Each structure stands twice: as structure tokens, then as C-alpha cells.
Amino acid sequence: MKRVFWLASLIILAASLSTAQDNEILKLKEQIIEIQNRGDLGFRNFAFCSNIVGFGSYAPLPSSALDKSGELLVYYEPVNVFTAKKEGLYEIWYTQDMVLLDEKGAVLQEWPNALDFHYTTRTPVMDLWAQNNITLGGQVPAGKYRFKAVLKDMLSGRTAVKVMDFEVR
């Protein structure tokens, strides 16, 4: 009987420690969200890639030169996307435009709202990543170009822009 009592006591103690730890982690995540909500919207780890697997798992190109029959593949992590909290739910919503520019900055083609990420969850989302791709397919002549990404936070109204040069051979 004493063994059953001690075992039950240990299980209850372990459960209460786990709950306390979970609450502490949630409080830390909410502090991070508060800091991110005040920060500038932007891009981190923006890179032209040969392969993208997932968050933080991508193969950046050794140079920004692309084959004209290939694909422009871009990886990035949006930073300081606003998180709204209401009624126990966390909401994130951003869109992203893609723009292909010539080397002087003239618009060759635009893809408004090429990415629309709207997510509501019961647990905070800490890390985000995105990818863009443009199939060149021999339709873009050899030359120098610029890729422009426009990130728009739909909940805060903030916008961030990133432009990177590349070459098609």
C-alpha cells in the first residue's frame, strides 16, 4: 500500500513540475512575442539557393549566377512578424510580393501576393521561413537582374523590402 501511495505521489509531483515548466516556457514565449511586435519587420538569412528542405535547412548558391534554363529559388526567414493574441489564440498574417527587375531597377514582372501566410494557433509560433521560386525556363535572356521581395504584415501594417542582384547566364 505504501508503494502505491509513493508512486502516486511521484506521478502527481512530476505532473505539477511539468505544468509549472510549461507555464514558464509559455511566459518566455509571450515575452519574445512582445519584443518581436515592437521590432522592425524584416528578412533574415535571405539567400539564393540550389535546394530548400525546411526551416534553417537550405543550400545557398556559391554565387548569384543562374543558368537561364534553371530556377531562381529564394529562402528567407521573416523577422518580427506581428503576433496578435486574443481569446487564447495567436494569429500571424503576412503577404509577400515578388518583383523581377532589370539591373537599372525597371519592373519586368510582378507577382503581387505571391505568398499569403495566415495562421491561427493555440500555441505561439516562434520561427517562420518562406521560399520563392521563379522558373526561368530559358525565357529570361542572359544578363543582370534584381529580385525584389516585399513583405507586408497584414496585422500591423508594416512593410519590409529586400532587393538582391543576380545574373542569368
Q: Where are the domains of the chain?
A: 1-38, 41-168
Which of the two residues, 2 and 98, has the higher pLDDT score?
98
Give me the percent of the chain exceeding a pLDDT of 70. 89
12 has a pLDDT exceeding 60: no
| pLDDT of amino acid 22 | 80
9 has a pLDDT exceeding 60: no
Cβ(162)–Cβ(149) under 8 Å? Answer: yes
| pLDDT of amino acid 138 | 81
Amino acid identity at 153: D
Q: By C-alpha distance, which of 93, 111, 94, 95 is closest to 148?
A: 111
Across 135-139, average pLDDT: 85
- The CATH number corresponding to 41-168 among 3.40.605.10, 3.20.20.80, 3.40.50.1970, 2.60.40.10 equals 2.60.40.10
Q: Which residues of 143-166 are buried (b: 16+ CB within 10 A; e: fewer)?
A: eebbbbbbbbbbebebebeeebeb
pLDDT digits (tens, 9 = 90+) for 47-56: 999 999 999 9
13: three-class secondary structure by DSSP: helix
Give me the percent of the chain exceeding a pLDDT of 90. 79
Amino acid identity at 29: K
Cβ(42)–Cβ(30) under 8 Å? Answer: no
pLDDT digits (tens, 9 = 90+) for 80-123: 999 999 999 999 999 999 999 999 999 999 999 999 999 999 99
| pLDDT of amino acid 10 | 47
Amino acid identity at 103: E
In the structure grid, which three cell numbers stand for residue 89, read together? 489564440
Separation between Cα atoms, residue 128 and residue 117, nearest integer Å: 10
Across 130-153, average pLDDT: 93
